[in-house]
Amino acid sequence: MYLGVDCGTQSTKVVVVDVDRGHVLGEASRPHALTEGANGRREQAPADWIAAFRGAFGDVVARSGIEARAIRGIGVSGQQHGMVALDHWGEPVHPAKLWCDTETAPWNNALVERLGGDAGCRDKLGLVLQTGYTASKLAWLRETHPDAYRRIDTLLLPHDYLNFWLTGERISEAGDASGTGYFDTRRRCWRTDVFAAIAPELDAERVLPRLIDSHEPAGRVRPALARELGLADDVVVSSGGGDNMLGAIGTGNIAPGIVTLSLGTSGTVCAYSPEPLYAANTLAANFCASSGGWLPLICTMNVTSATNRVRELFGLDLMAFDERVAGAPIGAEGVSVVPFFNGERVPMLPQASASFLGLTSHNTTQANLCRAVVEGATFGLRYGLEQLGGLAADAEQIRLIGGGARSRVWRQMVADILGTPVICPVITDAAALGAAIQAAWCAQYPHASLEDLCSRLVHLDEGSLATPHPDSVADYGQAYERYRRALADHYGDACA
């Protein structure tokens, strides 16, 4: 048995899988609180992640009917980019600033300039720094909270922090490290010179975690914690990784030809590449994969976070919201939504806001507003998919994950807007499943291949398949052009 953990923005999810039989035996989750500020602040207490893990772990063991001692390995997926700065005793010096935090946008702009602009960033890092990456968070902490900054002894990402709590080891791997902003994504190593430009008072050799390969274990569960959880005393903890990287593993996206698209709080589109991405495009992030190779990726900030705002505004449950979306025509009778409630990363507009456009006395209906926000979030993902160029253009199938993937209406919309067949894995919370698969890979390496493990555990839900309808593809094409014109009118060259 192997345990997969996904520490996301809204909750920590846990799954238990039986690798030999290819079965998921149980799932559970516990929610997190989120601290938000009008200036773009998005923070969480790392202690909440541990409390959520403990609760979800107990739930999943009880529901699956297994003995905790049967678990041989644990893999941890975590929300990317979050800054977890710890003091000498392993306690946070400040709440964790999250991937969706845009408070640090001015610090990011200054860092890009200091590193030589877009070209300098690509040369040093293989990508261009964006607001949300860990680098600008560290620069922000240095300037705004110098006392906390001076206490930093260890700098981790969320998944690194949970691994540290489980094992006592300060470890990271290339996939999640790719999103820090001080990691060379082409050579798979820390850029200590870039780190020194961000935090000159900190010793990178001492503060940054040791890098390991994705198939290597981070360590074993601490004996005292193993006894508390009822685990055996030799449980392996895998390298783990960022949620996007382990979500790719959990959808079988470990070879060219498949695109993974997530309809979560944010939206991500990624495609496996055996080589690093060399492109002038500043929006496609040349991240490493947590399976070897690379995982070029784009991330939009507003997907279910945007649709839920409109749904809750009208007091609708998910079923009623779906009915409203289905009850309005393609294009929402001229209503367009630019859904940048949290600012936006793709296009790079961290301080943007949302807009509802084209409203008239005729088309301002609940159904049109519901459909328009779902269309707007999906158009943003099409815009992002286009930034991946040939990696995505030749994809034969899109594997859809995240909470929004449960909606039949939304699945069909994605297929029609992207013009590509869409299907969901049976387990749509793919990051937790990917973490469990990676745990088995680490524990059994080199005797088990990742390809074999994915073939045994990643099952597709044939009933979720949505294929593009030619007439709908054409209608959505017109609505998308209207969306692109709205972006150009509001934001000009940033959306060219």
- Tell me the torsion sign for CA atoms 327, 330, 335, 336: positive
What is the percentage of the chain residues whose pLDDT exceeds 70?
99
The pLDDT confidence band at residue 391, using thresholds 50, 70 and 90, is confident
Beta bridge partners of 264: none
Whole-model pTM above 0.85?
yes
Contact present, 277 and 289 (Cβ < 8 Å): no
Residue-wise DSSP of 267-305: EEEEE-BSS----S-SSSB-PBPTTSSB--EEEES-SHH
Q: How far apart are CA 94 and CA 92, in angstroms?
A: 5
pLDDT value, residue 345: 87
Side by side, which strands form the sheet with 96-97?
Answer: 35-36, 42-44, 96-97
Q: How far apart are CA 11 and CA 29, in angstroms?
A: 6
Domains in the chain, start-ordered, CATH in brackets? 2-244 (3.30.420.40)
Q: How far apart are CA 261 and CA 38, in angstroms?
A: 29
15-50 pLDDT tens trace? 999 998 989 999 999 999 999 998 999 999 999 999
Q: Which of 243, 322, 416, 429 is catalytic?
A: 243
Is pLDDT above 90 for 392? Answer: no
Residue 243 a catalytic site member: yes
Contact present, 153 and 207 (Cβ < 8 Å): yes
The pLDDT confidence band at residue 318, using thresholds 50, 70 and 90, is very high
pLDDT value, residue 462: 96
401-439 pLDDT tens trace? 988 999 999 999 999 999 999 999 998 789 999 999 999
- Tell me the torsion sign for CA atoms 174, 179, 182, 184: positive
pLDDT value, residue 45: 98
Task: Tell me which residue of 348, 340, 275 sits closest to 118, measured CA to CA.
Answer: 348
110-167 pLDDT tens trace? 999 999 999 999 999 999 999 999 999 999 999 999 999 999 999 999 999 999 999 9
264-308 pLDDT tens trace? 888 999 999 999 987 667 788 899 999 989 999 999 999 999 999
